[in-house]
Chain A
Amino acid sequence: MSGVRVRGFGWRHAGRRDWAVRGVDLRVERGERVLLLGASGAGKSTLLAALAGLLPEDSGEHAGSIEIDGRSADEARDRVGIVFQDPQSQLVMARSGDDVAFGLENRGVAAGQIWPRVDEALDRVGFPYHRDRPTAALSGGEQQRLALAGVLALRPGLLLLDEPTANLDPAGAALIRTALAQAVDADTTLILVEHRVAEALPLVDRVVVLEPGGGIRADGPPDAVFAAHGDALAAEGVWVPGREIPPRRATGPPGEVLLTAERLGQPPRLAATDLTVRAGEALAVLGPNGAGKSTLALLLGGLLRPGTGRLAASPELAGADARSAPHRWRAPALTRRIGSVFQNPEHQFVTGTVFDELALGPRRTGTAESAVRDRVTDLLSRLRLDRLAAANPYTLSGGEARRLSVATALATAPRLLICDEPTFGQDRRTWRELVDLLADRRDAGHGLVTVTHDAEFVAALADRTLALEPLDAGPVRR
């Protein structure tokens, strides 16, 4: 039930040349539900942090003003709640109930009122366990529901949500959307940042689009905004509803077998699984959380020793090492044959610049320096990273880091590429580029295995799917 007035607001992080956000004028009335959109880098998260009073004066330069119920954002912090993307780094306490109580303690709520309010908040978000449930034993979706309860217990007049479902699998994301639809009071003002627009639309009645250079491009009811700006937004990477992406099916039949797994498993994480991986074919591995998809990706990538069963590489893939299993190969040999792309790109970065990061694999496998230079330059331009050649990989945005991590795996031209959730949390533009890049590889006769929850990605690219079941049920093939 808080009204928001933003006048000419701008923010520049200390040490940066460009403003993260500037020239924003916005008026949100009490109880309104706003979806905040914009291309990646348009400053959505910065604006939310400013509304939450979480931009310390000394961490940058600020312009204009923000008022919440007539007070500055800094003074109004007790009226504002915010839920972030990553559930892991929002939970404070070891027990679920204690975590919800944490905010109430901080705000000095009388001890006698704390536990009734904790129970009420847990109940509202549909938290299915007792309040003693360890937070570490919760799934991502449950943890995020708990984080929401922790914020709702403080009864905020303004609720800010910064991509609350981006780190969750589809089931977890659905849990959060249901909880939001049911738990938020009608008079609570809501501002949501979310680039999966179709899923967010039932929660909002107004869409505001930030212009990357500054100011606001569009503001109004969803239908009107998308009718006028839908195409431009889609091109910038926003998942505008109703815009299909053409699928990229294999142009020819699959080629020779690259890997054969017989009863391959890793108890207790992965049940015994049979599969073959072929050249020129995109295989998608599906299944709920806990079915061992990531473990299977590590096994196929030659990064983990099989717990049970056997993984054999064909002479076509293994060359001189055809007698030994991939997990026994030396790392430089492995990276020439099987490339792996991890869920978290930052796990894979080893050097100080984007250029060196791409050059590392080819150099390690003994490629001549002039050939390395050519290959890196080619990859940089294909993945729109040329401008960033000298940047530190850790300073990249989520989409840039993802593109770089795929490019590093491709730099050694492996015959087989294994990707773990490559499209997780990506905007539409990066998503399309990834699909095209991977489809090109497949059509050039390379093998591709993708572990994914992303149904659209499967529909666009996969030639064959393998659905894993949690251990003790065994895999089902389609």
Chain B
Amino acid sequence: MITLEPIARPDAPLARRNPVAKLTAAMLFTFPLMATLDPVTPAIAIAVELAALPLFGVHPRLLARRVWPLLAAGGGILVTLVLFAADRSGRVLLDAGPIVVTSGVLLTALGLVLRLFAVALPGVIVFATTDPTDLADALVQNAKAPARFAIGALAAFRLVPLLGQEWQMISMARRARGVEAGHSPVARVRLFVSTAFTLLVGAIRRGTRLAVAMDARGFDSTVPRTFARRQHFVAADWLLVVGATATAGAALAVSVALGVFRPLVG
């Protein structure tokens, strides 16, 4: 089930910040993390992110529920890299026949998994604490994004949860027609494709009807749009953006100072 609803306490000091500020801060915070391959920088970043959770009003348990696919992916990457990495430098930690684990391999794998988390968490936190309507409003009002794009995407997102129910109905309707894949994998793929096609046809029709209904209420009008809900970008929002950038810089500086900094390029 896809949920777009925020899961955080809306009155937490950082959750209340302007959505565009939160999004910009998340991007500026994660960008420097891409520059290095060492595990220290992302480890510091993750520590900062977890420390900031209470300020965003996000309960760790709720966060864990949202990121569990990421946890699974991280585990998968770790195992794959440790077993199959070509670079086998460093001290040998484990030698069990075909499986050789060296310190170099472990360090690279750990760095990669930590980077995955450090980069993904800010995005998860921002979307967990932001109402989609507020985000669209702020994108239009503060980031000057075209309303046609931001509000249009918002309206389209509203239809997404319907797709799950629709898929279920189409599958049952096919069984009623005598169409079933059984155990053959080829039949399964064909059934999946044809169910997806029916779903797509329905989604396009509904989307077209929605677009016509929106234009009928003046969405395509040339009159400048007014805003029923005001989004403000204030000093505290700037502070969040600057603070996030500075923290990321500090994490990089620590890594350089410890001598573990491994630039991505060069």
Contacts and interface: CB of A to CB of B under 8 A. Distances in A.
User: Is the pairing of A and B real?
Assistant: yes
B158 A332 contact: no
B219 A106 contact: yes
A109 B213 contact: no
A89 B177 contact: no
Nearest to B228: A101
B158 A91 contact: yes
B170 A107 contact: no
Nearest to B191: A350
Most chain A Cβ neighbours within 10 Å, of B173, B202, B212: B173
A350 B178 CA distance: 11
Contacts of B214: 92, 102
A350 B179 contact: yes
Interface string B133-173: 10000000000000000010011001101100010011011
B65 interface: no
A150 interface: yes
A340 B176 contact: yes
Contacts of B161: 136
Interface in A98-133: 98, 101-111, 114-115, 118
Interface residues of A, number: 65
B177 A105 contact: no
B217 A88 contact: no
Given A89-B206, A106-B221, A114-B226, A412 B178 contact: yes
Interface in B207-253: 207, 209-210, 212-219, 221, 223-230
B80 interface: no
A78 B217 CA distance: 8
A154 B209 contact: no
B11 interface: no
Interface residues of B, number: 48
Given A90-B210, A98-B133, A335-B177, A108 B223 contact: yes
A115 B177 CA distance: 50
B98 interface: no
A78 B230 CA distance: 24
B87 interface: no
A92 B155 contact: yes
Contact of A105 (B159, B170, B182, B226): B226
Given A348-B173, A348-B177, A106 B213 contact: no
Contact of B216 (A81, A114, A340): A81
A347 interface: yes
Nearest to B229: A98
Nearest to B181: A331
Contacts of B170: 347
B185 to A, nearest CB: 17
Given A86-B206, A94-B154, A150-B217, 8 more contacts: A84-B212, A94-B158, A108-B223, A114-B226, A331-B174, A334-B176, A334-B178, A364-B179
